[in-house]
Structure 1
């Protein structure tokens, strides 16, 4: 499972100063050709040692620790329907956000990339410290981009089309 590394390209906080006259903006002196991050209270200049295109460790958007959310089916009927579809098609179908509801909201020290590397090798109780059943969805949000993992019979798979906003609107109906 390969996740692409996040970049600063296209981020509204990235600023490439292109004016020939140096000026003081957002609390720092800006010179032509320098790159800045304007995400905090003050602009921060990228250093030579910072990555050229990838997001640096000090990015103000980055969440430490990452947010961890586990989504389960909102009721038994949705679970039965999903199980029947998977059984009839002889394959795991991708999860739909409208069928799910939040089960846990926690924090984890694992980034989405770290979790992707170990998720199919180590038990959930060791990596996430919660039980994740088959066909549940795990979201790890590092502040840059949330990543969704769908638990199948064969292990975790990426679920890029999972609609978490739709799932967060739902409440679990039968909690017995």
Structure 2
């Protein structure tokens, strides 16, 4: 929730600051952000394919590790490299979306699944609500380098929690 929401809101400003030679207008910033999001959205399809064929925990660990790695690279990125790393980062950020839903689908009894998903959305929306104040405060106080350090720390926390997940089998549901 927090990583997804924060990067979705902050990406246009990150692009504006870090590609100042290429972003001559708000329209250009919008097109760069659109391109990053459009290309990275394929991450959901890729990860959806992977979770149907590989252990969910393994895929989740790879996605969380990717989020940590790419957030750390973005701490000091500039120029066109920022766009390339943003695409890779958003690929794994968007890739986590199907993992969250598959995890609930596989571990929750069908009688409780809709309530479990509702609880997940409440938690996600509550955590996501902190994104804008966190971006504003962090950017104003320390800049986007610190912002990406915070996101890397959140990704490390996710990686640690995921490492404790039990093995979740692929099951066929009706």
TM-score (normalised: structure 2) = 0.24
Q: Which has the larger radius of gyration?
A: 1
If each structure's helix is expressed as a fraction of its own residues, which one has the higher value? 2
If each structure's strand is expressed as a fraction of its own residues, which one has the higher value? 1
TM-score (normalised: structure 1) = 0.23
